[in-house]
């Protein structure tokens, strides 16, 4: 599995994360490229959340189509980018010795 994750730029003047549409698209690309390996690794617990096969089904058939259709608007950061970031961290932690 490719353990790379799209960079999040930091606006130093605001001292907060600036997540762009490109960052979200890169996260989705990472997910799609690693879909089979992610599916095999599930369930993945991280920070009180467990990413299960059911989560993946909902993400694939509800969340991603809504994102692609532009229906998530300001929610894409939480429902797509941050969710995939947590999943990525959970997979990375599992892979660490």
User: Which pLDDT value is given to residue 17?
Assistant: 65
Taking only the tens place, the pLDDT of each residue in 7-62 is 444 444 555 667 889 999 999 999 999 999 999 999 999 989 999 999 999 999 99
Of the candidates 27, 32, 55, the residue with the CA atom closest to the CA atom of residue 43: 55
Please tell me the distance from the alpha carbon of residue 22 to that of residue 30, in angstroms, as a whole number.
12
Treating both helix axes as pointing N-terminal to C-terminal, what angle do 83-95 and 21-33 enclose, rounded to 10 degrees? 40
At 89, the pLDDT band (50, 70, 90 cuts) reads: very high
Band (96; pLDDT cuts 50, 70, 90): confident
Q: Strand, helix or coil at 57?
A: helix
Show the beta-strand stretches assigned E in 27-76: 44-46, 49-51
Residue 29 or residue 94, greater confidence: 29
Q: pLDDT value at position 6?
A: 47
Give the pLDDT score at 13.
53
φ, ψ of residue 13 in degrees (nearest 5):
-70, -30
Q: What is the pLDDT of residue 41?
A: 96
**How distant, in Å, are the alpha carbons of 26, 48, 52, 83 from that of 6?**
6, 23, 23, 13
């Amino acid at each position: 599995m490719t353990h790379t994750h799209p960079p999040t730029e930091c606006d130093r003047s605001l001292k907060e994360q600036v997540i762009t549409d490109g960052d979200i698209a890169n996260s989705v690309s990472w997910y799609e490229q690693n879909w089979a390996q992610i599916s095999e690794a599930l369930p993945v617990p991280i920070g009180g959340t467990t990413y299960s096969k059911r989560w993946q089904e909902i993400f694939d058939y509800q969340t991603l189509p809504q994102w692609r259709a532009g229906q998530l608007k300001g929610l894409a950061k939480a429902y797509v980018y941050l969710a995939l970031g947590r999943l990525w961290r959970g997979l990375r932690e599992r892979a660490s010795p």
